[in-house]
Structure formats: C-alpha cells, structure tokens
Structure 1
C-alpha cells in the first residue's frame, strides 16, 4: 500500500484525524497571542504583574524614606518597564524556538488517534508520538487547533492541513474527549 493510500485509509478511520502541513512562524505567534489574551489561563498568568506593582509601590515607599522620592520612583518605573519588555521577549523567543523545532521536520504529517498524536517529518525518519496527558488544554482559532499546557509550550495543528472537513470534526471530537477546552 502506498503512502497516499495508507493516509486515506488512516483518515477514514472513525477515531482518527490526519493533517498534512508545513508549519509557519505566524501560526505559533497567533497561538501565543490568542492564549495570552483570550483564555482564562493566559490572562491569570498575567496576574503576577498587578502583584508586582503592589510590591513596587511598597518598595518605593520604603526606599523613598532613605533615598528620596524622585530617584526611587525613577528606578522603579524603569525596572517595571524593563520587566515588561523582558517578559514579552522571553515568551516570543520560546514560541520561536518551538516553531523552529517543529519546522525542522519539514512538511509535517500529524495523526490524531484515541491514544494521542503522532507527528512525522517529511523524511519519515523524524517521528514522535505524544499521549494526550502531555497537553491538558486545547483551543481553536479560525485557522488553528492549539494544544497547550501553559503559556510556555504549544503544539499547533493548522486546519489548512486537514485532508477533509471530516478530519476537522474528528479532531474536535478527539480533543473534546481527551482535553479541556480553554
């Protein structure tokens, strides 16, 4: 049986969805942005910033007694801005690294089954199987299915790679059965 015939037979199984795609950096950027701005887990991950502001105010108040108000406020403002900048850069770099690891496989073929997902690179040699336990959450955008466990790690499956509309339906059913939607 040829690879295309095997893929069609695999895609026809009722509990299997097949995606064949080339990963892009834009997919991972969209996933990170969507997670950070539109999910409860992404938004609550940002709650430490208000706590940081509270700590900065207390620290500023305390230090201003010893070093003067203007100097302390200036240092605090610069520190908070630097923290925002560094945090965003770290997230962007982690997402870019994930994309590069995925893109190194070349054209990807991801098969979703009741046991988990298997991704194989274009050479057929680079293959990895992951159980559903690795990703506790999933969400969907108009273009992507995204599996995640935190703001630090994503597995992106572009919908453009679905072999048929039925694969999209099967993927949603598998995700709903094994993962929590966020």
Structure 2
C-alpha cells in the first residue's frame, strides 16, 4: 500500500497506524478480508463510516461533474478533512452522577461523528464542519454546524429537521443539554442524475 495523499488529505498515520488511503482501499474491497486492526479501532470505524457516507452521497455528483469536465474537488477535500478530524478522540467530557469509582466519558470525536450522522440522515443535506463548546457550567452544549444542501431542498425544512433531531438525539449520548445551534448553509450543489 502507498502513502500517497487521498484528494488533498495528508496520508499521516492518524487512524491507529492506518492512513486514509488504506481505509479507502479496505472499503473498496468490501472490508474483506477482515482486518482486525481496523475493525477494532474506533478511529478507523468512524473514518470508514464517514467515507461510506461520502461515497453514497457524492458518487452520482462526481460522475456528473466528471462527464461535464467541470469537476471541483474543494468540497470533497473539506469533507475528507472533516473525516480525519472527526476520527480523533479530542477532549473527553465526563458524565455527571456516575457511581463512585466509575468514570463515564464521551469524546469530542464521537460527538462530532454523531452530529455528522444526524445531519447526513436528513434528505438533501451533507454535513461539513462541526464545532461545539460546553458552556461554563458544563451542562449545555452550543453547536456551530456547516452544511451543504442539494438544489431543490427546502433550507427551512432541512434546518428545522436538523434542529429537531439534534435536540432529540444528542442528549441521549452526551452529558449536555443542547444550547444554541448555529446552522450555516455553506453551499448548494446540483443533484446528480441518479441522486434521489
């Protein structure tokens, strides 16, 4: 396997000894033969999930742009960069009120992955940069999320769905109530011919 960069993302061993290119090749093979060093790594599994989402959403767009000879990879580079960032554990946030002698935490990377998965589950939305910060009390989480929408998607409806799902799902996995949610539409993309 090579250490060449994948679409502008440096091929550093950021994924428990594996590069993004190695993970992409593993996904190309249908995750076969099973590689225990990849499958047992949370960072690798998060990156694989991100790559799979990118392929499912962006595949038809890439084909359309390549056919039109007008391909622009900047937004793909940004998504791949976010996959690299999302797979890192980052800060650890403790859950309150756990039994004495017990520690329960959620990592920054896991929360980013959750927010991205929630956003990507909304039809016509592709989640980009995710930033969040607990307030001073440590009980509320403020979020800033950048998204791309596909042309024809109602931004108002998609934003409402995003806010509703974040408010419902994030507190189930994090020791925070959801505070402010700054949702910014950074780009609008034309749908590919096969894009639902």
State the TM-score, normalized to the length of structure 2. 0.26
Higher helix fraction (1 or 2): 1
For the pair shown, the structure with the greater C-alpha radius of gyration is 1
State the TM-score, normalized to the length of structure 1. 0.27
Q: Which has the higher contact order (CA 8 A, sep 6+)?
A: 1
